[in-house]
A and B are shown apart, each in its own frame.
Chain A
Amino acid sequence: MTRRSTLRFAMRGLWRELRSGDALVLFGALAVAVASMTAVGFFTSRVAAGVAREATQVLAADLRLESASPIAARVLARARRDGLRVAQETSFPTALFHGDRSQLVAVNAVTPDYPLRGRVRIADVPYGPAIATTAIPARGTVWLDSRTAAVLGLRPGMSLRVGAIRLRFTRVLAFRPDQSVGLVSLAPALLMNAADLPATTLIQPGSRATYAALFAGPPAAVAAYRTALRAHPDPAVRIRDAAENSRELGSAVERASRFLNLASLSAVLLAAVGVAMSARRWASRRVDGVALMKCLGASQRFVLGVALAELAAIGALALIAGTLAGAIAESGIAWLLRSLVARELPAASVQPIAVAFATELAMLLGVALPPLIRLRRTPPLRVLRRDAAPPRLRHGVVPALALVALFAILWLMVRDSALVVDLAAGVVAVGAVLAAAGFVLVRVTRRFRGGVGVAWRYGLANVSRRGVASVLQVVAFGLGLMILLLLAVVRGDLMREWRASVGARAPNEFLINIRPQDVPALRRALAALGAADTPMFPVIRARITAIDSRPIASLHFAGARGRAFAEREQNLTWSADLMPDNRLVAGRWWTPADEGKPWVSISTEYRDALHLKLGDAISFDVAGEPLTVRVASIRQVRWDSFRPNFFLVFPPRLLDGAAGTEITSVYLDARERPGLAALAQRFPTVTVIDVDAILAQVRTIIDRASLAVQYVSLFTLAAGVIVLLAAVQATRDERRHESAILRTLGASRFTVLSGVAAEFVALGSLSGLLGAAGAAATGWWVAHRLFALRYAPDPRLWWFGILGGTVLVGVSGTLAARRVVGAPPAQSLRAEG
């Protein structure tokens, strides 16, 4: 037969194959895998494209210098001489007050010409239509974003206090190009004229301000200027350009999308199980037909060709249907995460379709093809002798192919070989644990058969008789339910445990930028609000220059944290006493006799990131003055005490004379908090940070993100349903025969159906139990190992798991098997013969 006639023959058979159910399950498994991959792929590609497109806009310039201290005037002058346009931007957090309301905002004080790239957009009223502008706020005015205006109850035209002065709110700030350095735009923003900045007195020595110089101009001039800057690098100044920014944002997107990818990966893996089961069944149902066709003269090539063409057609249909479903599901993810993604997203790329196609191909070749290849070797003798079957595939061929396919899928999704190895090990370990647990549960079920009625006995007997298939279904649903329970129930439990561990009266307000001369008055004011004996800590900013006389630039640190410690300015403090939430793990704390000695106490994080030990010499640049100290002790810090804490603590009197500010944290109950407004007006330089508000914001992000992951996990459940359907299909003939025998022996249709329902209810409750146990165990592990919390699972976890599994598996399994057991017994028995 020609290739064309093979194809025609295959296509004619395809419709019948799809109607037969086996091919439909195969189609469903492939479509679920494609849909889950494209849904996540489309979304992350849209975000990545959005980030890449706006990489220069995010800088608001072609080149940007950032530093914790003002950029030197000669650097700006040189740029102007080189023909570049220059703007400056000073950013820092501060609390705004209006009446009894307060809000922490990021202030951006800018010079004319800001932004050099992109446009600021403003509106006349909060949430009103925005227009682009080239202006910046006039002196004496500010532009404020809609959310802050709403929180503070401000309308355009009203004035508000910013530090020591009052400024008028004239326009609503809808967008500024450099408002978010990544996906997430957190802090509400205020834009003001840099000329007003000194009068606010908000910038003090040691303030946490970032100074940026923005440059734009012809590409050659920008490149020449960048080369000149890099020739004399200043470790205190960070140079950012579009390429670097794009890279950084790209990797941020990749990190952020990893959870979504992992969720979709679990769906793909389960779908692969569904593909394997349905392809096997599909192939086994074709054995008789193939034997007959070979008997009638069909060649092996024709047999294989027909099977391959049908498989390819099913794959193509699944790719189209899955991609469509993925595109629809993607809009769901984008909607769930809309408040986190600050920008309008561009259209998705087609790359996710290519990745999904490659995954599908890997699944088809690795999992679905082997049983079909085996089909080619069907002996024609089978038409005469039923026991003549195709030879078994050589040992290891199928698992090896499946394993190769699995690794290919993993790599395609995460593109990180090390992670693939870890993930594969994790998947195998979790799968093995779940399978072992499932096996035990299925075995235990057998013991309950004695004490139940005929329907239940029949159902439970089926669970244990179909051992492997039962374990597979329990694992498939258990995994999906585990992910959902982990995110929906355990996460909330952990959050509550953590809040409880922090304590009801943990500080909820941080006060920073306190001038030393204001300390006595501020202490009195805080005491009047009910926060007596508030400990204050001096804050001095310094940069590390050398470790054991080796310049810091010559040292290499692998971790991001090590590099950050080495490159950025650190906040230091001094203290006579060890803080109550610190514990010494090495060395000794200083005595009054040690005051003024060149020693330092470092935190365990600092030790680990910079590979330090007791006695090491660390050199600092403290406001231009060199200082070398030795590590005298190492502390473990409980950062979640919400008290000021430091990586570096010096003995008293060593840093006398260094200019700095003070920091403190207090607990104020709801009645006293309105008093903060008056306090902030009296001490305009002090920035009040509301911990509760920040935690609420972080929580919103976590809630949204985990909702998106839960949403993607629904694909895992869909894949679980596919595995269940595949299992039902695989046992269809057996079930038909058994129900015919039962009905012939006098069982009513209801009794037979009850038996089937019992089987799936048992499977569902076992998966729910397994999912809940898995979620509880993971929660316990996370609580103990990562957060050092006590964790006892909420009893609802078990109920949700068992009830959810029972309803989901019980209903879908019974519905799927209903038709099979409903057929008249005579028809079923005759079909057997």
Chain B
Amino acid sequence: MHPGSNGAPLALDAIGLTKTVDSPSGPLTILADVDLRVRAGETVAIVGPSGAGKSTLLALVAGLDTPTRGRVAIAGTDLGRLDEDGRAAVRGRQVGFVFQSFQLIPSLTALENVMLPLELAGDPNARAAATAALTEVGLSARLAHYPRQLSGGEQQRVAIARAFVGRPPLLFADEPTGNLDAATGRRIAQLLFELNRAAGSTLVLVTHDRELAARCDRIVELDAGRVVG
């Protein structure tokens, strides 16, 4: 693991990330030569206007997509050397996600949704751990509810419980409050940061919300596919 500038190991090390896609008017560069190095335990906000390339950067550093050029390493593992299943295995071990649209599986209950990452990792105590995680986010009375039976805030709590249940060292959150009203959004953000602190995990957050971004240790600003601040 490479040491960071303050001596803590690098949880995420992305160098020279470029993403170009084909469009009707020729190749289109969405992201150009972006570096992103995040120390273990650090919280980083990626901000910028719509179309700045925030979600593309998140997809690349989380191994959900592959860069046209550049290199991504999570906890020292170079994702570029892995195939899709290899990248999935790294995510399974190292990464948790929280999404703007919650991404709960509608046919699974709250408990089953939270059990999912543990089951995928072959954890025999998935049920107990998921129950504890849901209790921690205040949903002990909602275990058997399906997503459609939960409010937006409750659904995002389930998603947060799912993100933390496997104790991943690295957490990615994509507009976690974007689909919620202001009050609920504040409560969810509070919960997210509390849990992150308690778990000592690294948080990479994509948001429009300056207030939310300000709660992070560091802000990376993107515009037109480049880091501007």
Contact = CB atoms under 8 A, between A and B. Distances in A.
Interface string A286-314: 00110011111111111000000000000
Contact of A300 (B65, B85, B93, B116): B85
A249 to B, nearest CB: 54
A726 to B, nearest CB: 19
B64 A381 contact: yes
B1 interface: no
A300 B83 CA distance: 11
Interface in B99-140: 99, 103, 105, 107-108, 116-117, 119-122
A670 interface: no
A288 B103 CA distance: 8
B59 A381 contact: yes
Contacts of B214: none
The contact size tier of chain B is 20 to 34
B17 to A, nearest CB: 15
Given A1-B122, A9-B119, A295-B97, A380 B107 contact: no
A295 B91 contact: yes
A296 B55 CA distance: 17
Given A298-B92, A379-B64, A381-B64, A293 B116 contact: yes
Contact of B88 (A2, A380, A384): A380
Contact of B91 (A296, A300, A381): A296
Q: Is the interface of A mostly helix, strand, loop or mixed?
A: helix
Contact of A385 (B55, B92, B116, B117): B55
A384 B99 contact: yes
Of B97, B103, B117, most A-chain CB atoms within 10 Å: B103
B174 interface: yes
A384 B120 contact: no
B120 A302 contact: yes
A297 B58 contact: no
Contacts of A380: 63-64, 84, 88, 91
Interface string A688-731: 00000000000000000000000000000000000000000000
Interface in B28-42: none
Contact of B105 (A1, A9, A289): A289
A351 interface: no
A744 B90 CA distance: 46
Nearest to B93: A297
Given A293-B120, A296-B92, A297-B93, A383 B105 contact: no
Contacts of A331: none
A299 B88 contact: yes
Of B58, B84, B90, B148, most A-chain CB atoms within 10 Å: B84
B89 interface: yes
A301 B85 CA distance: 8
Contact of B85 (A292, A299, A381, A384): A299
Contact of B120 (A13, A297, A379, A383): A297
A201 interface: no
A301 B120 CA distance: 12
A297 B148 contact: no
A549 interface: no
A296 B97 contact: yes
Contacts of B59: 381, 384-385
A5 interface: yes
A384 B60 CA distance: 11
Given A383-B99, A831-B148, A299 B64 contact: no
B88 to A, nearest CB: 5
B225 to A, nearest CB: 16
A13 B113 CA distance: 12
A10 to B, nearest CB: 12
Nearest to B113: A292
A261 B95 CA distance: 57
Contacts of A339: none
Given A381-B65, A384-B64, A384-B174, A298 B120 contact: yes
A748 interface: no
Nearest to A831: B148
Given A5-B122, A16-B107, A292-B105, A379 B97 contact: no
A299 B62 CA distance: 16
Contact of A299 (B55, B89, B103): B89
Contacts of A20: 107
Interface string B73-96: 000000000001100111111010
Interface string B54-70: 01001100111100000
A297 B89 contact: yes
Contact of A292 (B92, B93, B103): B103
A706 B84 CA distance: 58
A296 B64 contact: no
Interface in A589-617: none
Interface string A15-37: 01100100000000000000000
Interface in A536-586: none
Contacts of A295: 62, 64, 88, 91, 97, 103
Contacts of B91: 295-297, 380
Nearest to A377: B84
A372 B141 CA distance: 36
A293 B120 CA distance: 8
Contacts of A831: 148
Interface of A: 1-2, 5, 9, 13, 16-17, 20, 288-289, 292-302, 379-381, 383-385, 831
9 contacts: A13-B107, A292-B105, A297-B92, A297-B95, A297-B117, A300-B84, A380-B84, A384-B58, A384-B99
Given A296-B91, A380-B91, 13 more contacts: A1-B122, A16-B107, A289-B107, A294-B88, A295-B91, A297-B95, A299-B85, A300-B85, A380-B64, A383-B64, A383-B99, A384-B55, A384-B59
Interface of B: 55, 58-59, 62-65, 84-85, 88-93, 95, 97, 99, 103, 105, 107-108, 116-117, 119-122, 148, 174
CB-CB nearest 3 A-B residue pairs = A297-B92, A299-B85, A296-B117
